[in-house]
Structure 1
Amino acid sequence: MDITRLRTLRELARCRTMAAAAESLHLTPSAVSQQVAQLEREADMALIERRGRGVVLTPAGERLVAHAERILMVLDEARSELAQLRGEIAGELRVAAFPSIAVAVIAETVRALRSAYPRLNVVVLDLEPQESLSALGSWQIDVAVIDDLAVTPDENREHYALIPLTQDLLHVLLPIDHALARRDSLTIGDLRDEAWALDSTGSSFGEFITNLCRRSGFAPRINAHCAGFEMVAAMVASGNSISIVSGLRLVRPLPGVTAVPLLPDIQRGVFLAYRKGERDHPAVNVFLDEAVYTADRVLG
């Protein structure tokens, strides 16, 4: 059986629709359907059943996916062993990270690795945590940087392993001359009458902040739906808005704003995720170690 087709079936089992599996694998839905159909011909039995717009695995499909998981893990282990035998840390390593951790830690990690291993090409992708885990599961990337606001770290842990990277504390971001800027701390309730700038372009962080306000009894009055943190910071610095930001954003100076701790403390854990069969892969190993070292050094 072709390993690519097995990987496609595994991704279809995870995504539950042809369209979602196709998007994850960078294929067309037709190509996914054709690969599964070919796999069914090879197995000489049905592997999926269509249910409305989605699909479910037949008992045979479930068993084949379980075997595929073991096969793919063995292939990861083989890849790692061959890389060790080559005795050189080289090639391409693909890493997905959300923007705040990429700015605070991952960029410096890549710089250090470029200096130490000139033949290692680390490619960084800007992805939200859930997208990163999907990309890790479909072998599009080698390491995912995720947080526990967007994903539940215990989900699918049979497929990947986690290394804690840092704990991130949330802060209220205010114009430097705002009436609340001199406070030692603020609650969400203190902000109910403010105008908000939020990253609203599919950001799990922006969604988390909106839900946090709603749990405190109000919907944030958003006057800036921003495509990234740069616009959020500009709207706050200009006096138009307030926001809540990751402590990772405070590693570098932000002109015109001040950050006040949010109480009660709201923390998120940040983790490095990798496929279990690749912990001994030399390139994966040096990236994980360097990222942890850099986070300790930069974030204290």
Structure 2
Amino acid sequence: MIEVRRLRVLRALADHGTVTAAAEVLHLTPSAVSQQLAALESEVGQELLERRGRRVAITSAGRLLLSHADTILTEVERAEDAMTLYANGTTGEVRIAAFATAISLLVAPTLPVLRESVPGLRLSVSDAEGHQAIARLLDNEIDLAIAVEHRGSPSPEDQRLTRIPLYAEPFAAILPAGHPGADIEQIDLATLAADDWIMTSTGNPIRDVVLLACEQAGFAPRIAHQSDDYTAVASLVAAGAGVALVPQLALPNPGTAVLRPLAPPAPTRRVYAAVRTGRADHPLVKATIETLRKTAAALPLG
């Protein structure tokens, strides 16, 4: 008989690539992880791993087992939730990770609504960029992630996740007050090709969106400065250090810099909520998502 906890170890190894990384996520020692994997190979009678230097590769038998493991682990999580609900009703905690703007625009406004409508719910909120939130969700560190769609996002066919679109937010150009485009009603992105640019750091999903938009406009931006803090970006722009693109609602107060809409087609930040499929039907998670959707629908976008 296959032990479920050993399937979790195999999934962690597949996600993180090394025994050491999987052990850290699972709060086990590397030797304990190796022992669990060896026991799993014994249980199924197949070689699941092959070593390649410091890393291990999943064999074809291992990949076949993983395809079933995801379904099994989803059903186990559903069963665990069902037993918790049987014992405790609808009282419990939902752990949310979201990027800073989403916390301000979505999560914070939902807190008083949920306190009123679902008094048994406790929310735990933490700050994480979109790509980090998804990794934490898959590692079972949180229950709900609010993330930005980008080229590195999990595939829509990933059966481990259920995704719920929340809103699409257009980008705007942020310019120094004396910039030639500061008085133009809508900025053609190509007219900023000769400027220095302030960009988010490598790995931030926003960077991918902006670089792709510039590529489609026919140029590669000359990146002079980097910051993931939009207030810092606005300060650099106001000081004449360059130009930037920011999501429309991310910078309510640009200071002395100037925000200008982009001429169509403007890039957009597509924001979604994600939960593990095994927890998608949990009443507290469903109530939280529904409230987030209502908050998102009221955002001043356009």
- Are 1:260 and 2:267 counterparts? no
In structure 2, the residue matched to 1:175 is: 176
- Alpha-carbon contact 1:73-1:276 (below 8 Å) kept: yes
Question: Which deviates more from structure 2 when the two are superposed, residues 210-219 or residues 183-192?
Answer: 210-219
* Residues 21-46 of structure 1, C-alpha deviations (whole Å, 9 max, x = no match): 45655666555434323433444542
- Alpha-carbon contact 2:166-2:296 (below 8 Å) kept: yes
One-letter amino acid of the counterpart of residue 230, structure 1: T
Distance 2:204 2:183 in 1: 29
Distance 1:126 1:150 in 2: 21
One-letter amino acid of the counterpart of residue 229, structure 2: G
* Residues 153-180 of structure 1, C-alpha deviations (whole Å, 9 max, x = no match): 6444322111110011111112344321
Distance 2:185 2:11 in 1: 51
Question: Which deviates more from structure 2 when the two are superposed, residues 161-170 or residues 220-229?
Answer: 220-229
- Alpha-carbon contact 1:24-1:134 (below 8 Å) kept: no
- Are 1:122 and 2:126 counterparts? no
In structure 1, the residue matched to 2:288 is: 287
* Residues 197-235 of structure 1, C-alpha deviations (whole Å, 9 max, x = no match): 222163121243234434544442333222422211221
Q: CA shift at 1:290, angstroms? A: 0.8
Distance 2:90 2:270 in 1: 29
Q: CA shift at 1:258, angstroms? A: 2.4
Change (3 A) 1:26 1:229: farther
One-letter amino acid of the counterpart of residue 274, structure 1: V
Distance 1:147 1:115 in 2: 29
* Residues 251-287 of structure 1, C-alpha deviations (whole Å, 9 max, x = no match): x333223221223221232211112222221221111
Q: CA shift at 1:294, angstroms? A: 0.9
- Between the two proteins, the alignment pairs up a number of residues equal to 299
In structure 2, the residue matched to 1:163 is: 164
Question: Which deviates more from structure 2 when the two are superposed, residues 178-187 or residues 194-203?
Answer: 194-203
In structure 2, the residue matched to 1:220 is: 221
In structure 2, the residue matched to 1:230 is: 231
In structure 2, the residue matched to 1:68 is: 69
- Are 1:203 and 2:204 counterparts? yes
> SS of 1:248's equivalent?
coil
Normalised by the size of structure 1, how large is the TM-score?
Answer: 0.85
Identity percentage of aligned residues: 35
Distance 1:22 1:229 in 2: 36
Distance 1:41 1:152 in 2: 35
Change (3 A) 1:41 1:216: same
Change (3 A) 1:156 1:48: farther
- Alpha-carbon contact 1:22-1:29 (below 8 Å) kept: yes
- Alpha-carbon contact 1:24-1:135 (below 8 Å) kept: no
> SS of 2:180's equivalent?
coil
- Alpha-carbon contact 1:170-1:245 (below 8 Å) kept: yes
Distance 2:53 2:143 in 1: 34
* Residues 85-143 of structure 1, C-alpha deviations (whole Å, 9 max, x = no match): 35644332122222332222122223433454455332223333333222222222211
Distance 2:84 2:178 in 1: 56
Provide the alpha-carbon RMSD of the alignment. 2.8
In structure 2, the residue matched to 1:245 is: 246
* Residues 27-79 of structure 1, C-alpha deviations (whole Å, 9 max, x = no match): 66555434323433444542211235543323432333233222211122223
Distance 1:289 1:176 in 2: 41
Change (3 A) 1:291 1:228: same
Normalised by the size of structure 2, how large is the TM-score?
Answer: 0.85
One-letter amino acid of the counterpart of residue 233, structure 1: A
Question: Which deviates more from structure 2 when the two are superposed, residues 211-220 or residues 97-106?
Answer: 211-220
Change (3 A) 1:195 1:153: same
Distance 2:213 2:30 in 1: 37
- Alpha-carbon contact 1:173-1:259 (below 8 Å) kept: yes
> SS of 1:180's equivalent?
helix
Q: CA shift at 1:245, angstroms? A: 0.4
In structure 2, the residue matched to 1:47 is: 48
Distance 2:86 2:60 in 1: 40
Distance 2:151 2:110 in 1: 23
- Alpha-carbon contact 1:83-1:282 (below 8 Å) kept: no
Q: How does 1:95-110 map to 2 (within 5 A)?
A: 95-110=96-111
Distance 2:24 2:262 in 1: 38
**Unaligned 5+ runs, structure 2:** none
